[in-house]
Structure 1
Amino acid sequence: MDYFAAFPDFTINPGEQRVKAFKRLAKSQKWSIERRTSERTKFHKLVVEDLNGLFNKLEHFQDLCDNLFPLEPTPTSISQCKKLLQSKFVNIWDIFEGDYKCFDTYAEFRKYTTKGRIFNRNLAKGLFFNVFLRKL
């Protein structure tokens, strides 16, 4: 992701989640609320582009299913993958970060997600794997 490249004086720490890096960047730049909102939208748009590049073929969906459901047989179509993926609650940011956490219940998922890991819903609708969209 080249969002952070626009800020040459800012460095992502090794192993730092991009969500946390964005928050740290906003603080270091002393952005106003309006600027932070505008930059967050730009950031989310780039995340959607990155994720759509990662999940645009059957093999990508199958890899995701294999990571999230190692005991299940690998689905043979994107629609089968999406059906399986809809059976769990997964935070989109975790997929972006490569951290595959599943929640069996909505309550667990909501508690985890509302701690600063909310993705812009309108932008997330443009994701190829928008099966993870849930109302909070």
Structure 2
Amino acid sequence: MSSSQHFIRGYFNRFPDFHYDQSKETMGQFRRLASQEDWSPKKRRKEKRALQTALVLQFNDTYGENEAEIANWQGLCRAMRIDPIPETVAECKKLFRRTHVNIVDLVDTRGTGRRVPTYPTVDLLADYTKETGKFFPREHAKAGGLLKYLLREILASGTGGRH
């Protein structure tokens, strides 16, 4: 994880007795924190929403929010090791409509040199997301344009979510 993960680090810094290890996955750190603090289910849900906000802000800070800026799209392509990198916003949007990636993993791998996994279908991404619990909320007021292009429908139930 990049040392520039200031929104995520800021979330964990709210808990002075918790040792946050930014080299480990964010959701694993969250589960460890929830266990350490012995949170009730209600408190866990509330804190997970706060962490999801930090993830959204981190994504926006890292990749940008303006979907009209080619530099934002190309930075996202570089982070995902897409080659060749599209030269227009329209080409980028078309590419990302069919690119299925877990956004938590994308944020976690930024600056590490690790490749973020992509999935050939939404169903395979959904299986992975459900298995790992790495969800983004269905709608998030702070989600920028680029992030909205990566969100996929994961759950069909009334408690649905996106990653």
TM-score, normalisation: structure 2? 0.73
RMSD (Å), alpha carbons? 2.1
1:88 & 1:97 partners in 2: Cα distance? 18
Hey, what does 1:15 align to over in structure 2?
A: 23
- The correspondence of residues 1-136 of structure 1 with structure 2, limited to 5 A, is 1=7, 2-13=10-21, 15-56=23-64, 57-68=69-80, 70-72=82-84, 74-98=85-109, 99-115=115-131, 116-123=133-140, 126-129=143-146, 130-136=148-154
Change (3 A) 1:3 1:14: closer
Instruction: Give the aligned length.
Output: 135
C-alpha distance in 2 between matches for 1:11 and 1:123: 28
Q: Percentage identity across aligned positions?
A: 28
Q: Aligned-pair distance for 1:121? A: 1.6
| Residue-by-residue CA offset, 1:60-116 (whole Å, 9 max, x unaligned) | 3212213435333x2233343222112121111111112511111223212111111
Secondary structure of 1:13's match?
A: coil
Cα deviation digits, residues 28-68 of structure 1 (max 9, x gap): 10111111111111111121111111121532321221343
Any idea what SS the aligned residue of 2:143 has? coil
Q: What residue number does 2:160 align with?
A: none
Instruction: Give me the whole-angstrom Cα distance separating, in 1, the residues matched to 2:79 and 2:45.
Output: 33
Q: Shift in Å at residue 125 of structure 1? A: 7.3
Q: Partner amino acid for 2:153?
A: K
Q: 4+ residue stretches of structure 1 with deviation over 6 A?
A: none
- Unaligned regions of 5+ residues in structure 1, if any? none
- Is the Cα–Cα contact under 8 Å of residues 56 and 142 in structure 2 kept in the other structure? no
Q: Which runs of 5+ in 2 are unaligned?
A: 1-6, 110-114, 155-163
8 Å contact kept, 1:124–1:133: no
